[in-house]
Amino acid sequence: MDAVSRAAWKRAFAGAALLALFAVIGAGTLALTEWLTRERIAARERVYTLETLNAVLAAARYDNDLMKDLITVREPELLGTPAPVPIYRARRNGRPVAAILLPVAPDGYSGPIRLMVGINVDGSVSGVRVTAHRETPGLGDGIEIGKSDWIRQFTDRSVSDVDEWAVARDGGEFDQLSGATVTSRAVVEAVRDALLYFDSHREQIFAAPTEPSPP
């Protein structure tokens, strides 16, 4: 090997070694940050999930550890997604009080709308919240609790007559958000389907053994 190519090899190796060193330093910094923030992030996530769960079901109504009493089901037809849907089960003194389903309204105006639906054991709604959506700001985003009270109209209702469960424009009993009929229709139908699913699977939902860890 002549001197020129030896020098070139040397440069290349020095460069590679230096890059590897930077990679190690970068990875070390990240590992350290991750280690320092891991517990805090997990705690904040838990608080956030519990706060949303308690928004659809008052914390005073159950006494079990909601976050641990969890099953998942697959029901693409009624729950709007082929993915497993989590169901939290609320109990008081060991008796079922309510279940909280996380269905998806697949046909929102700009993609799927993720919901959290609390259903009392008698089949009535204890509360509904939207957890994620991409609806139009100023129109469809009225489904968010921070933007309007629209989502509260489901509370205490149950499916006695399926035909009532539509927006007013389609002859049903639910107001639509003005300028966002598609969005409103998607949410009303998703809540209705979640109730129908609950009605036909009530026993299985509360009897199923708890799954070891959340999805």
Q: Check binding of 149 to other proteins (CB under 8 A).
A: no
Q: Check binding of 111 to other proteins (CB under 8 A).
A: no
Binding pattern for the stretch 69-108 against other proteins, x by CB under 8 A and - elsewhere: ----------------------------------------
Among 4, 5, 137, 212, binds other proteins (CB under 8 A): 137
Alpha-carbon torsion angle 210, 99, 86, 194, nearest 10: 140
DSSP at 177: P
State the amino acid at position 50 in one-letter form: L
Nearer to other proteins, 64 or 131 (CB): 131
Six-digit token string for 39: 């517990």
Query: Quick one: which segment of 33-41, 81-89, 95-103, 191-199 binds other proteins (CB under 8 A)?
Result: 33-41
State the amino acid at position 42 in one-letter form: A
Six-digit token string for 181: 């009929």
Six-digit token string for 190: 């998703």
Q: Check binding of 9 to other proteins (CB under 8 A).
A: no
Six-digit token string for 155: 């509370």
Tell me the pairing of strands 95-101 and 104-105. Answer: unpaired
Please tell me the count of residues contacting other proteins according to CB under 8 A.
22
Nearer to other proteins, 35 or 161 (CB): 35
Six-digit token string for 148: 């309007």
Which residues of the chain form contacts with other proteins (CB under 8 A)?
11, 14-15, 18-19, 22-23, 26-27, 29-30, 33-34, 37, 40-41, 44, 48, 136-139
